[in-house]
Amino acid sequence: MGIKRKENVMKNVKEHLGLLGLKAEDKVTGLKGIVTCVSFDLYGCIQAILKPPAGKDGKHSDGSWMDIRRLKIIDKKPVMDLPDYDTGYVSEGKKGAAEKPLR
List, in order of start, the domains of the chain with CATH numbers. 3-90 (2.30.30)
**Rg, C-alpha atoms of the chain:** 15
Assess whether pLDDT exceeds 70 at residue 94.
Answer: no
Q: 53-88, pLDDT tens digit by residue?
A: 888 898 888 889 999 999 999 999 999 888 776 666
Residues 89, 95, 96, 98: what is their CA dihedral angle, to the nearest 10 degrees?
A: -130
Q: What is the pLDDT of residues 6-50, one digit of tens each?
A: 788 788 888 899 999 999 999 999 999 999 999 998 888 999 999
**Prediction pTM value:** 0.77
The predicted pLDDT at position 23 comes to 97
DSSP-based three-state secondary structure for 91: helix
Q: Which pLDDT score, from 0 to 100, does residue 66 have?
A: 93
